[in-house]
Amino acid sequence: MAAYRTKAWEDLTIADDYMFKLVMKHERFCKRLIEKILKIKIRHIDYLDDEKSLKFRYAGKGVRLDVYVEDDANTVYDIEMQVRDYGDKELTHRTRYYQSMIDVDALTAGSDYKELKNSFVIFLCPFGLFDGKRHLYTFRNVCIEDKELELMDGTSKVFLCSEGQLDDVSTDVKAFLDYMKGLPAVDDFVNEIDGFIKEIKVKEEERVSYMTYEMKMREAHDDGMDERSVQVAIDMLNDNEPMEKILKYSRLPKERIEELSKEIKG
């Protein structure tokens, strides 16, 4: 089984999930980033939950949101740092899934359909997407037969990419995108973020918090790997595969496989 690996605390950047969440917990960064990306003004934002976890009683993946906030106009923003490039199809379907979970969460909290709030799912991508031409891609639902007719369902999905050929974002947003991919800070806003990161990196309590996070992530990974190994063993036992083959592919101890075999046979 592959070991779970995380970066050293000293090596974390804004493009790393943990550091991004840490920075965006501060309203002065989160609010201004939303304003710069969407070219809007917000009086204040409220954090709906710290790394909100949306899970429901039916079987499903659930979803953990990086930054989940609401502004003074009751618009909801989910901002996600996409650490890995899973490809266009995977990421577009992820935005669909995140949007659906946000809506279902609102409905389970007692809201009616007509009370669903306007929402933005924003993916920050330290790589290129789609045709590779743009830095900014905004999607809303429009009529195929009449492109000027919008569905007006209140949902928007935004992809902000560090790689792009067009000059389609403001200089401060471009500076943030360059910073995401490791280039030096050259903008007042980005300089402030960079200074904050340097400041917290020398704080022992922050380093200890990250070590605790690492440990929990490693434990969760190990538990997940164990669950998958158990399922592999069960499937192979049901197919009457020989013990040597089950040992090889499940990588479970022989004693554990024998226990599973007894459980299956009842």
Lowest mean pLDDT among 33-42, 59-68, 91-100, 155-164: 59-68
- Element at 67 (helix H, strand E): strand 67-71
pLDDT at residue 4 in the model:
55
Tell me if 4 is assigned to some domain.
Answer: no
**Of the ranges 119-133, 184-198, 235-249, which one carries the lowest mean pLDDT score?**
235-249
In a domain, 175, yes or no: yes
Q: Decide which of 177, 202, 227 is a domain's last residue.
A: 202
89 in the same domain as 143: yes
> Does 163 fall in a domain?
yes
14-29 pLDDT tens trace: 999 999 999 999 999 9
Give residue 225's pLDDT. 67
Residue 169 and residue 219 in one domain: no
Domain total of the chain:
2
pLDDT class of 104 with cuts at 50, 70, 90: confident
More confident residue, 219 or 262: 262
- According to the model, what pLDDT value does residue 5 have? 65
Q: How far apart are CA 68 and CA 51, in angstroms?
A: 7
Domain match, 140 and 258 both: no
Do 106 and 128 fall into the same domain?
yes
In this structure, the answer to whether residues 123 and 233 fall within a common structural domain is no
Q: What is the mean pLDDT of residues 109-120?
A: 84
Same domain, 58 and 73: yes
Q: Identify the pLDDT of residue 207.
A: 94
pLDDT > 80? residue 132: yes
Quote the mean pLDDT of the chain. 88
Express as a percent the part of the chain with pLDDT over 70. Answer: 89
Last residue of a domain, one of 202, 218, 244: 202
* Average pLDDT rounded to a whole number, residues 157-178: 96
Domain end position, chosen among 178, 202, 226: 202
In a shared domain, residues 129 and 241: no
Average pLDDT over residues 151-178: 96
Mean pLDDT score, 219-243: 82
Residue 3 counted as domain residue: no
Q: How many distinct helices (H) and strands (E) make up the chain?
A: 8, 8
Residue type, 83: V
What pLDDT was estimated at residue 221? 65
Of 178, 5, 180, 203, nearest in space to 82 by CA? 180
Question: 196 with 250, same domain?
Answer: no
- Structural domain span for residue 243: 209-265
Answer whether residue 1 is part of any domain.
no
* Same domain for 132 and 27: yes
Q: Are residues 145 and 261 in the same domain?
A: no
pLDDT band for 59, please (50, 70, 90 cuts): very low
Residue-wise pLDDT for 172-227, tens only, equals: 999 999 999 999 999 999 999 999 999 999 999 999 999 998 888 777 666 676 78
**Residue 174 falls within a domain, yes or no?**
yes
- Predicted TM-score (pTM) of the model is 0.79
Q: Is 113 exposed, middle or buried (0-12, 13-18, 19+ CB in 10 A)?
A: exposed
Report whether pLDDT(58) > 50. Answer: no
For Cα atoms 130, 133, 135, give the angle at the middle one, nearest 5 degrees. Answer: 85
pLDDT in tens, 34-53: 999 999 999 999 998 654 55
| pLDDT of res. 213 | 87
Using CA atoms, how far residue 109 sits from 67, 115, 121, 157, 254, in Å, is: 19, 11, 20, 23, 47
Residue 128 lies in a domain: yes
Q: Which helix (H) or strand (E) holds 77?
A: strand 76-81
Tell me what pLDDT residue 51 has: 46
On whether both 177 and 229 belong to a single domain, the answer is no
DSSP string, 32-50: HHHHHHHT---S-EEESST
CA distance 240 to 228: 18
Quote the percentage of the chain above a pLDDT of 90. Answer: 63
Q: Say if residue 196 is in the same domain as residue 228.
A: no
Q: Is residue 2 part of a domain?
A: no
